[in-house]
Amino acid sequence: MASSLTFRPAVARDIDQLVAIEQACFATPWDRAAFAYELTINQYAYYVVIESEQTIIGYAGAGFIFDEGHITNVGILPAYRGQGLGLRLMQQLIAQAQKQQVSYLTLEVRESNVIAQRLYQKLAFRPVALRKKYYSDNQEDALIMRVDFNKESEDVK
């Protein structure tokens, strides 16, 4: 694992590093303009980064509006995967969602991305629907997953 890790909210000066991670992680990456919008204009967006020796090695983002939250993306550089960093990023987003009194979070994940699905299930996300032909690169379906933060259900740790 990386020696010293820092988790912090993303800021505009991080955009170039976020784009590089996005390109390393995804078949249909977001571009610079998308991140610029999220970090400088979108008042509902919240992004967190992991730094190792002042280099961003992963990030996660979400949007929170009223009592709803939606996770937009989670990316870890390939060399740092398998070390629990995705879990830690997700825990950061969940903590922020709960701080903002969000009732539930949703996300989309490729049907073939079983590793990510397992991570989300560890955090109490459950499949709720299928979005057909969601991904533009190969027309793959997206599994929609959701976690609720109501008093009757178990709290997410």
Q: Residue 75 pairs with which residues in a beta bridge?
A: 59
Report the CATH fold assignment for 5-148: Aminopeptidase (3.40.630)
120 in active site: yes
Which of 59, 108, 135, 154 is an active site residue? 108
Indicate the Cα dihedral angle 105, 146, 123, 86, nearest 10°: -70
37 in active site: no
For residues 137 and 121, which has the higher predicted lDDT (pLDDT)? 121
% of the chain surpassing 70 pLDDT: 94
For residues 137 and 66, which has the higher predicted lDDT (pLDDT)? 66
CB 7 within 8 A of CB 49: yes
pLDDT for the residue numbered 2: 52
Write out pLDDT tens, residues 45-93: 999 999 999 999 999 999 999 999 999 999 999 999 999 999 999 999 9
Write out pLDDT tens, residues 32-49: 999 999 999 999 999 999
pTM: 0.88
Q: What is the mean pLDDT of residues 125-132?
A: 95
Is residue 153 scored above 50 in pLDDT? Answer: no
Question: What kind and span of H or E run contains 128?
Answer: strand 126-131
Which of 47, 51, 120, 140 is an active site residue? 120
CA distance linking residue 35 with residue 53, whole number of Å: 23
